[in-house]
Amino acid sequence: MPSKFHSTAPIADRAFLVAADLPKALLPAEESLGELAELAKTAGAAVAGSTTQKLEHPNVATYVGSGKVEEINEAHKRLDCNVVIFDDELSPSQQRNLERALGVKVIDRTALILDIFATRAQTREGRLQVELAQMQYLLPRLAGQWSHLERMEGAIGTRGPGETQIETDRRLINARIAKLRRDLKEVSTQRELYRRRRARNNVPVVALVGYTNAGKSTLMRALSGADVLAEDRLFATLDPVTRRLGLPSGEVILLTDTVGFIQKLPTQLVAAFRATLEELEEADLLLHVIDISHQNAFEHAETVDSTLRELGVGEKPTLLALNKVDLLTNEDGEQVADFDEARAIILGAGAPPGNVVIISAASRWGLDNLRRRIEAALDGDIETGEAGIGELVGRAV
């Protein structure tokens, strides 16, 4: 006898991923696709398949070519996928055209990152920022939310109401955006008062920056003992955390962890999180944490540098912390046994530039030296040597 009961559990998403190999892209399409797969898994989707297409420029109507759209349609049906995720931001018309052609939900990297951020924001400020970014993303896509009206036969009864509803939704969203901006301005004002008090007390501030999953939160815990979530996944932490840190001289500073960066970071998020990232503007020193064991460490560092320049803080004094050296392997393919072996791999016969520190936050290697270098940098003793980050990364990976 068949059961009369039905499961109310949400259906797990099975995703098919699509990336374009475009000229001047920071990462090759396959590697960017791998990062997109990690984002999809972080959002709770199972990745069932993927494809790439080499393009000189995106197709105006469907981002990829018509032949590739047909290939994606066959693949997602064969693999029983209920969502197709594109690695770049789609225009509203591209998204609508693709959903009509594929018959399933289509989202882009921007929507995926917004979804992840929405589940990770814990503080009121973080939730406000994410909602603002979501509203800004949704606003130009409202017409697509009413595409079900287009599938009704006949025109009578479908012409006026749909448009009226879209206009109503647009007014409601604009009103919500205005309120979110007012609320965030209040939060920003409170932060400004806090920063002024901090400045009067002459407490130096060091801000941790880095690509997502570079190990910033692990370093925060190792240096300050802060109870900060540290997991091996993208965007494990979202809301900023500030803790006191003692330096070798006895001086106390404030160490602030900020949201991790990522390539193709949605413009809506950069704008929405500007209030939080104001901490970077007030910082006396930036500590750029780099996962030196990652094959794309140089590209990740470039992404962070580019984002910092976009935020107007690219010229601030910066220490580079080459992290996760305990994960490096030697010429025999074996993992390094100790800090000295890891240092030898990175440095070779040369000394590191004056703004580079070699560490492992997880194994607590090199942290005493890092504290000394932070103290020296705050005293103005920070110089960039001749060896670039690209050369150091090349020795490590």
pLDDT tens track for 160-216: 444 566 777 888 889 999 999 899 888 878 777 776 776 667 889 999 999 988 999
Taking each helix axis from N to C end, the angle separating 274-282 and 124-138, rounded to the nearest 10 degrees, works out to 120
At residue 150, the pLDDT reads 45
- The 10s digit of each residue's pLDDT in 120-137 is 777 787 788 888 888 888
At residue 189, the pLDDT reads 80
Residues belonging to the chain = 397
Query: In whole angstroms, what is the distance from residue 244 CA to residue 253 CA?
Result: 6
Contact, 208 vs 255, CB < 8 A? yes
pLDDT band at 393, cuts 50/70/90?
Answer: low
- The 10s digit of each residue's pLDDT in 317-333 is 999 999 999 999 888 88
Any idea which residue has 């995926």 for tokens? 112
Mean pLDDT, the chain, rounded, equals 82
Query: In whole angstroms, what is the distance from residue 105 CA to residue 114 CA?
Result: 16
Does the predicted model carry a pTM greater than 0.85?
Answer: no
